[in-house]
Structure 1
Amino acid sequence: MARTPERIAVEIVEWDLRDVADLRVLLQELAACRDESGEPIDTQAFVDMSMLPSFDIPPDIDTSYPVWAVDKSGRALVGDNADRIETLDQVRRP
């Protein structure tokens, strides 16, 4: 049985901050969910992307990049679709 968007959203909110790749997988699973008529769900109805769990994003990081979340190793979930992972050093490079 497939997990519900509600269950995936709980897992996202409870992400343990260890590996941002795990968060990316959860967000991809949520984005793949469909409603009863087979249409993609509105993921923002389940998870506020601006409120993802994260270690503090250093003040010298320009979050307009955008940077969505940072794990304990300093790897960041980045990009318009929150689908890429970069180190904070990579994010800092122009």
Structure 2
Amino acid sequence: MADVVSFPARRHSSCALSPYRAYRFAPDGSVRSTIPIEAASDADATERALCLSDGDRVELWSRARFIAHVGPLDGPIATSIALIEDEPSPDP
């Protein structure tokens, strides 16, 4: 039966979601939490990060590519980031 039915190896979608990470910072500059975001575009991801900021400074990244700062910019700002883990950190 397997040789009668063939399935495509991979589906291609025009609306594939890309993984983003929003890093929320505490006032002292430490990372308060890491929030995974799936969005179709940088603009979509930025809008979602803005909703998550809750007055905190948020940096939005797509893997090692910086996307945007959201919220107040009165703390330290990262110039690069290293991928360490795949699991988000809990929000205190």
Q: Same fold (TM over 0.5)?
A: no
- TM (norm. structure 2) is 0.29
| Structure with the greater alpha carbon radius of gyration | 2
Higher helix share: 1
- TM (norm. structure 1) is 0.28
